[in-house]
Amino acid sequence: MAAPLPGLNLVVFMGSTRINRLGTPLLNLVVKQLKARGHNVTTLDAKEEKFPLLEKPYHHYKGGDDKAPAWLEKWA
C-alpha cells in the first residue's frame, strides 16, 4: 500500500468587504473541511487586509472633491 500523499498548501480567499457579509460561516466551514482532510490552509480576507480597491471601486468616484487616488487613476 502506498503512503498517503502530503496535504496541499491552499489559500482560501474571502473577497467580500461588505458590512454584515454572509460569507464568514462558509469560509469557516470550507477551512475546517480542508484541514480535516490534511491540507495546510491559509485564509486571505480582503476586509482584514484592507484592499482599498475592494472598499470603493474606481467607478464609484464622482470626480471633483471625490477624485480617485493617484495610484488608482494610474491603473484605470
Residue-wise pLDDT tens digits, 25-73: 999 999 999 999 999 999 999 888 877 666 777 888 888 888 888 888 8
The pTM assigned to this predicted structure is 0.63
Count the Cβ atoms, other than its own, within 10 Å of residue 30: 16
Residue 32's nearest CA partner among 46, 4, 15, 24 is 24
Neighbours of 16 (CB within 10 A): 15
Give the three-state DSSP class for 10: strand
Q: DSSP label at 58?
A: G
